[in-house]
Amino acid sequence: MASFVDEIMAQVKAKNPMEKEFHQAVTEVAESVALVYDKFPEFRKAKVFERMVEPERVIMFRVSWVDDKGEIQINRGFRIQMNSAIGPYKGGLRFHPSVTLGVLKFLAFEQVFKNSLTTLPMGGAKGGSDFDPKGKSDGEVMRFCQNFMNELFRHIGHDTDVPAGDIGVGGREIGFLFGQYKKLANQFTGVLTGKGPAWGGALIRPEATGYGATYFAAEMLATRGEKLEGKTVLVSGSGNVAQYTVEKVNDLGGKVVTLSDSSGYVYDEAGIDAKKLKFIMELKNERRGRIKEYADAFPGVVYTPVDPNLGYNPLWNHKADVAFPSATQNEINEQDAANMVRNGVICVAEGANMPTTLEGVRVFLDAGILYAPGKAANAGGVAVSGLEMSQNSMRLPWTREEGDNRLRGIMKSIHKTCATTAEQFGTPGNYVNGANIGGFMKVGRAMLDQGVV
């Protein structure tokens, strides 16, 4: 196993220098795929994984736009079309100043395995820009989105590549992007998901990632005779995924005590109930303010600003049972993971993509806690995007109940795939191997069937 992982990583690092997040994501999957190569040499012979780490297509482009002061601004746009073996490219767009080619390649790579796990026919992609929506007016965001789409539109389509939201891209941005696509293509199709419910959006899509991660945690807990009811829960982030995680954890009787943004985190021992969540939604989705305001609005809440010199994140250092990291990549390092295990956390379901470093993952696996990687736990978002595509093709919307039931069924199915695959490959309870191998087998078989392309 070591030699396969060492060899592939030497190649990936040589071909993709400096892209450390991409190296990290590939290392984690390669360690699982080594088990498949041992058992099924046809995959090794056909160099299936060696092909998977090379994007099918990378598009990188200039986005120029004019800000409210009349000044010209230049950003960089990307779309990584990673793998289309099992369906059209599918995956979100991220607008954040930290976006680089390497970050989007790690996200597109993860998306391939995640989309495969959903049971739906979707390939993997990711895109975005180093544009920072923070502090921009609605008009500036609109002009940026329109100029971004002026290039992207020729590379996407409802049967080719279907983008959606991610960090910094929510309902407002999808609206502007869709409007411009429709104008350029002169077609009303399901080319983006996460649309407004009045114009083709699936009713449960905004909730899907957070609800899905919570359903997945409930499935994991059930394997040990446990429930979310009565559990103390840590959530990071305060955006789309975090908000609907809080809502569903509350529904199932858990108590969420933390939320964060890039400036700091709040600890609310009394729990973030429905009324407080409403405040967060208004603060983050409408006023676009900072999480610190939550501490000013409710008594007994402690706000702690980010301290980059601390070496660990104090959010993860509270007594709790369950954790949903839902902000961004590498927000849990080795020390954070050790703190969580020491403080009694028995279940971690990743709402974010790759929020835990490789060293942190090792701590969770060695401790034998229930640990679900993002590509399994947060797959509910893209799964409901897949359902939105079905509804758009049929031109027939489903009810909220139907969408939610299907989401629940899909999360159950992903859990089963992970659990049974981990067992088949000799690592029972290891959801990392279960998710990586479960996702790999379907895409890998499709690649074998379709020849060397």
Q: Which residues are catalytic?
A: 126
User: Hey, what are 96's tokens?
Assistant: 């954040």
We find the least distance from the C-beta atom of residue 372 to ligand NDP, in angstroms, to be: 13
Q: Which residue is nearest to ligand NDP (CB)?
A: 239
91 binds, among ligand NDP, ligand 2IT, none (CB under 5 to 8 A by kind): ligand 2IT
User: Hey, what are 394's tokens?
Assistant: 């049929």
Q: How far apart are CA 273 and CA 291, in angstroms?
A: 16
Nearer to ligand 2IT, 202 or 257 (CB): 202
Q: Which residues bind ligand 2IT (CB under 6 A)?
A: 90-92, 111, 114, 164, 166, 193, 353, 381-382, 385
Cα-based angle 318, 320, 325 (whole degrees, multiple of 5): 85
We find the least distance from the C-beta atom of residue 263 to ligand NDP, in angstroms, to be: 6
262 binds, among ligand NDP, ligand 2IT, none (CB under 5 to 8 A by kind): ligand NDP
Q: How far is CA 414 from CA 208, 223, 379, 433, 439, in A?
A: 14, 14, 9, 13, 10
Report the side by side order of strands in the sheet with 255-260.
301-305, 264-268, 255-260, 232-235, 322-324, 347-349, 370-372
Identify the helix (H) or strand (E) that includes residue 91: strand 89-95
We find the least distance from the C-beta atom of residue 37 to ligand 2IT, in angstroms, to be: 27
325 binds, among ligand NDP, ligand 2IT, none (CB under 5 to 8 A by kind): none
The beta strand positions in 165-270, using DSSP E, are 232-235, 255-260, 264-268
We find the least distance from the C-beta atom of residue 372 to ligand 2IT, in angstroms, to be: 14
We find the least distance from the C-beta atom of residue 410 to ligand 2IT, in angstroms, to be: 13
Nearer to ligand 2IT, 111 or 116 (CB): 111
User: Hey, what are 33's tokens?
Assistant: 């795929």
193 binds, among ligand NDP, ligand 2IT, none (CB under 5 to 8 A by kind): ligand 2IT
Nearer to ligand NDP, 205 or 231 (CB): 205
Nearer to ligand 2IT, 107 or 291 (CB): 107
Q: Which residue is nearest to ligand 2IT (CB)?
A: 92
Nearer to ligand NDP, 43 or 176 (CB): 176
We find the least distance from the C-beta atom of residue 93 to ligand 2IT, in angstroms, to be: 8
Q: Which residues bind ligand NDP (CB under 6 A)?
A: 96, 98, 165-168, 170, 209, 237-242, 261-263, 326-328, 351-353, 378, 381
240 binds, among ligand 2IT, ligand NDP, none (CB under 5 to 8 A by kind): ligand NDP
Is 403 in contact with 387 (CB distance < 8 Å)? yes
Identify the helix (H) or strand (E) that includes residue 211: helix 205-222
Three-state DSSP at 134 gives coil
444 binds, among ligand NDP, ligand 2IT, none (CB under 5 to 8 A by kind): none
A 10 A CB-CB count for 334 gives: 16
Nearer to ligand NDP, 289 or 428 (CB): 289
Cα Rg for the chain, rounded, in angstroms? 21
Is 296 in contact with 276 (CB distance < 8 Å)? no
Q: Please, what's the b/e burial string for 255-287 (b: 16 or more CB within 10 A of its CB; e: otherwise)?
A: bbbbbbbeebbbbbeeebeeebbeebbebbbee
Q: How far apart are CA 248 and CA 156, in angstroms?
A: 33
Nearer to ligand 2IT, 37 or 244 (CB): 244
Q: How far apart are CA 59 and CA 151, in angstroms?
A: 10
We find the least distance from the C-beta atom of residue 324 to ligand NDP, in angstroms, to be: 10
Three-state DSSP at 307 gives coil
In terms of Cβ atoms closer than 10 Å to its own Cβ (0-12, 13-18, 19+), residue 448 is middle
202 binds, among ligand 2IT, ligand NDP, none (CB under 5 to 8 A by kind): none
Is 160 in contact with 151 (CB distance < 8 Å)? no
Q: Facing residues of 128 across strands?
A: 78, 94
We find the least distance from the C-beta atom of residue 285 to ligand 2IT, in angstroms, to be: 17
168 binds, among ligand NDP, ligand 2IT, none (CB under 5 to 8 A by kind): ligand NDP
Nearer to ligand NDP, 412 or 445 (CB): 412
Cα-based angle 167, 171, 175 (whole degrees, multiple of 5): 120
User: Hey, what are 47's tokens?
Assistant: 């160099």
